[in-house]
Amino acid sequence: MCGIVGYVGREPAAPVLIESLKRLEYRGYDSAGITVLNKSLETYKTVGKIADLESILPEEIVANVGIGHTRWATHGKPETRNAHPHMSSSISVVHNGIIENYLQLKEKLIDLGYVFESDTDTEVIAHMLNYKMYNGKKKIDLLTAIRETTRELEGSFAIAALCSDEKGCLVFARKNSPLVLGIGDDGYYAASDVTAFLKYTKKVIYVDDHEIGAVRPDCIEIFDPKGNLVSKETHTIEWDLEAAEKAGYDHFMLKEIHEQPTAIQKTFAGKLMELEGTIKMDELYLTPEQIKHLRRATIIACGTSWNAGILGKYLFEKLAGIHTDIETASEFRYGNPVLCGEELTIAITQSGETADTLAAVRSSQSYGCRTVAITNVVGSTITRESSSVVYTRAGPEIGVAATKTFTAQLITLYMLAIYLGRVRGVLSAEEAKNLIVNIKRLPGQIQKILNRKDKIKECAEQFADKRDYFFIGRYLNFPIALEGALKLKEISYIHAEGYAAGELKHGPLALLTDETPVVAIATKGHTYDKILSNIKEVKARDATVIAVANEDDTEIEKYVDEVLRIPQSHEMTAPILTSVVLQLLAYYTALANDCSIDKPRNLAKSVTVE
């Protein structure tokens, strides 16, 4: 995700800002910039790495106040004009989050004579601050201006701003986007997380939602929404720098599992049109007529992305009425695929650099197929080679075992299927509304699972010494069974296999013993009775069964040994919740076996060679 830094103190600001931005590189970014306040505002920004930003800075910058930013493109392409900070005359702003009503605000500001230089939502904040300070009946200070401005902003934000008329002052505001302040011997710091300034201080103040404030050379002031001065507790960080990058979690994987509510919310932000019963897909360069005449879709992917693609196949056929094939990217080119121009190829790749998937896309395009890439990395190779790109907004994922990128891919496939179904007339507005409502509930439902993860940990520890696992599911739960098995084998080195539950009797039952735990995905839906029958088959072979079931299902306990619960949910969206449970099961199993979780043996995060 994007990163904010700020500094007010006695030291030169530019080196502090650059060092702090480097500490936030792990969050992922495509551009970076800083503004320092001396006699006037001086802003430097560029596309690329922090090193590229350093190369354009003057040798000496005399300033003790500044703000900086690493940007992950959301509104507007990765271009220098879209990089932060954004200016409006005497004001400079950096911002993380999404301003959902920025278009309405932008229109008003244009009518007032403001000229926009970027495509971002952030620039409206700079112009609004300028308008509040200088175009009212009386001039107000920057702190008052940010209080009035944030009252009009809808969405999420962490904001830091400077004004050339207020030397030595940095103002900030927060809503649904992290912001923390640091108290050092030589100054004060502001950042998206403590990693940015941990080199300088371990004393921090956490800014809460809806709070605003000012950082000055001699003090920090924080105010609540009513304008009352707030007294905040100072915390001392105990982590070393490496641990701080993990935000206090023992492993990046666990941190990234916990980031899924935010990752999912960012992925669907601005796209769910609940009232209209459809999805906003402006980035999909297909006309309604082209969509209506699609004969077939082919999903191409590898590994975890391939498991997501299997679920995508079910979604496209159910919701959009499009016959869909799922292909392993590494095999696609060698099977003489039969394709034509009235087909859609959907390539799923977290990194956008997976060599097999890139090769398959190029092969597909040679047949004249339209291609859509689903990826998490702005500016990656696949984004330049596909007809359309739909971004997941999971942010950087450092752990090799995909977690939040997988669920973000699933959300993207749900949205794409709903959109295609509505355009093709297969899915009614009412059906789409129902699905959209349930998609919106997912972040909160995932948080419930995370809040009671101790039960999953206990279950994992109970069976951590087993050397074989089976995962079974039907219909939408089949690809989640595959993914659950993949997660377990990736990081715990336990042999695990995922099966369509009905296939057990075609061979796999021969491998079952009382030493083989079977994870049965038994969430409520039209295959529930069938999975119960499969569970009985398994129990007849003396295997232990761990069921993943809805929290209100009291029937399941009669047939299984352990039950891991998900919140009550729609049959179509339950697989996303189940996947979080299985991620935690794999994590705690690996932890119990003292495995290298973030960097499992023999595996790489991105496979860039065939």
Structure tokens at 383: 């984004």
189, 20 contact by CB (below 8 A): yes
Any catalytic annotation for residue 219? no
**Among this protein's residues, is 2 annotated catalytic?**
yes
Whole-angstrom Cα distance, residue 587 to residue 521? 18
Q: What are residue 170's DSSP bridge partners?
A: 215
Tokens of 367: 């047949």
Residue whose token pair is 């306040």: 37
**Cβ–Cβ under 8 Å, residues 546 and 531:** no
Q: What pairs with residue 87 in β-bridges?
A: 92
Instruction: Give me the DSSP letters along 124-167.
Output: HHHHHHHHHHHSSSS---HHHHHHHHHTT--B-EEEEEEETTST
Count of all residues that appear for the chain in the document: 610
In angstroms, how far is the first alpha carbon of the chain from the final one?
A: 29
**Considering only CA atoms, which of 207, 238, 211 is closest in space to residue 227?**
211
The residue from 2, 302, 369, 459 that is catalytic is 2
Distance, C-alpha 600 to centroid of its chain: 22
List Cβ neighbours of 159 (8 Å cut-off, separation of 6 or more): 93, 94, 95, 125, 146, 150, 172, 173, 174
Instruction: List the catalytic residue out of 199, 448, 530, 605.
Output: 605
Q: Locate 139 and state its tokens.
A: 């001039």
The set of residues, in sequence order, having a beta carbon less than 8 Å from that of 176 and lying 6+ positions away, is 97, 155, 156, 157, 209
Please report, to the nearest 10 degrees, the dihedral formed by the alpha carbons of residues 579, 585, 587, 590 taken in order: -140
Note whether 162 and 67 are within 8 A (CB): yes
Catalytic machinery residues: 2, 605
